Chain A
Amino acid sequence: MAGTSDIAIVGFAQTKSVRAAADGEVQLLVPTVAEALERANLDRREVGFTCAGSCDYLTGGPFAFVQNLEAAGAWPPISESHVEMDGAWALYEAWVRLQHGDIDTALVFGSGKSSPSKPHEVWAQQLDPYFLAPLGVDPVTLAGLQARMLLDAGKATELDFAEVAARSRRAAQDNPNAQVSGDFDVDALLKEPYVRAPLRRHDLPPISDGAVAVVLARGDKARQLAERPAWIRGIDHRIEVHQPGMRDLTTSSSTTLAARKAGYDGGPIDVAELSATFSPQEVILREALGLPAGTNVNPSGGALAANPVMATGLIRIVEVAQRIADGDVNRGLAHATGGQVLQHNMVCVMEGE
């Protein structure tokens, strides 16, 4: 979407992803939101608009998303919205809202505790209710079908998949918020049994609990609140056909289109954080984006190191924004995904001043 490019990320915070958080979801959000606001030098009462991304089905709590709002403090009454999607889409909605020009700050957060539920039960409900959900089709199955098509097309090998996993988890050692990290030998990984052939355990994301918060500001307000705002130069999202058998699972045309609309058409970029929840998807996304070989992809470890569903995509945005704010990079790209096997994709391009 073409819009104003003077909206920036001026504050952010995230929790360390864990397999099962001892505290409830709101308890995870309270300090995270507070830290993001503090980093932005903003009092919660000054926030113009609040938007959150989460999914009640993860914890099985009806209206859990309403309780999550208590972390933002809904008294005095606030202007807010919610998306049953990754927090990246909450950020998109806040970015759109800021276009109106009548407010100049927004608070965004994403959170999810996958630990109480079984992913294969919950995620099947995201699928077509007549043809797919009743068969209990689960995310790992769909990712497995996608992976095999990549292998059959000669676009990747199982070694490529293992290398993505090993590189991600090695990089995650430098990320205090990552859940799975370490030095894994690729040959040893390839000796492990299949979980959903051709996928092995290392090709899958961990099950995570986590939360992330971001503060957006516009124009001079952004310059006032942060020393080095991460300016959103472009952000766009596109969706493809739902039925897995009606689109090419080995490419991601929606990612290519979203990137182009966001102002990235391939070529050098300082850093790219991609929401590849399964290792083969990184192969697909690199090609869809036109990232040159040697691009710094997922220095955070990506979704293979931590996958707090509903926060994963927004964390990719934060990882890029953090590096811009720290002065480590000047231009970066973050990718978020929704639906199954890359059905829905968002690209956010950010720059330092």
Chain B
Amino acid sequence: MSDAPPKEKLVMEHLVSLTYEEELTPILERYVDALIDGRIVGHKCPQCGRVYVPGKGYCPLCVVPTGEKDEVEVADTGTVTGFTIITPVAYYGQKETEPFVYASVLLDGANSNLGGQDIVGIPHDQVRSGLRVKAVWKPKEKRSAEGVSNRGWGGVGSAIDAFEPSGEPDMERAKFEEHVF
């Protein structure tokens, strides 16, 4: 007969690791081609006219397909619509050590936000919704597809390091309040 284990023996460590590998979809291929070229493209819905960056291959509100014919370029300037300052907590896989900005940026010409953007060149306590920003591009030879995936969360991290204030006056709230998230 066995006794119950002592308290210190009641935890089993188990690292589960799953690997994924796939080819970018044709839409994201074109998106990355443009990013490497210094341009940001999305799809404009033929029905409602909303622009999604990157294109999804469909408009989620109208549920109509979109394709290469609906591709449009948007500016690399935009507005911070919402943000938070993240204080890193140590956990398995955490790479950050210093507080950083996590902002949603609505690019001029787009209807969908870029999430999780770092805002640099401004003290954290001055970052605000409505702040006008412009992209800080990586040097062309450093741009790649890394970090862009088919999982649908978009991202420009492979070509744009962060956004910085553009110097323009803040955008009024009414113009971006429907694009906060």
Contacts and interface: CB of A to CB of B under 8 A. Distances in A.
Interface of A: 20, 22-24, 26-27, 30-31, 33-34, 44, 57, 59-62, 64, 67, 70-75, 115-118, 121-122, 125, 129-130, 133-134
B151 A59 contact: yes
B20 interface: yes
Contacts of B21: 116
B178 interface: no
Given A24-B152, A64-B152, A129-B14, A70 B63 contact: yes
Contact of A61 (B57, B58, B151): B151
Interface residues of B, number: 24
Interface of B: 12, 14, 16-23, 25-26, 56-58, 60-63, 65, 149-152
Contacts of A20: 22-23
Contacts of B17: 121
B25 A117 contact: no
Nearest to A61: B151
Given A59-B151, A61-B152, A71-B63, A27 B14 contact: no
A30 B19 contact: no
Given A24-B57, A30-B58, A115-B22, A64 B151 contact: yes
Query: Which 8 pairs of residues, A with B, have the shortest CB-CB distance?
Result: A61-B151, A116-B22, A70-B60, A73-B63, A60-B20, A27-B57, A116-B20, A30-B58
Given A24-B150, A130-B12, A117 B61 contact: no
A24 B25 contact: yes
Given A23-B26, A26-B56, A26-B57, A59 B150 contact: yes
B58 A27 contact: yes
A34 B63 contact: yes
20 contacts: A20-B22, A22-B25, A23-B25, A23-B26, A24-B57, A24-B152, A26-B57, A26-B152, A27-B56, A30-B63, A59-B150, A61-B152, A64-B152, A72-B63, A75-B61, A116-B22, A117-B20, A118-B18, A121-B17, A134-B14
A121 B151 contact: no
Contacts of A116: 20-22, 150
B144 to A, nearest CB: 19
A130 B26 CA distance: 41
Contacts of B62: 73
B18 A122 contact: yes
Contacts of B14: 129, 133-134
Contact of B26 (A22, A31, A115): A22
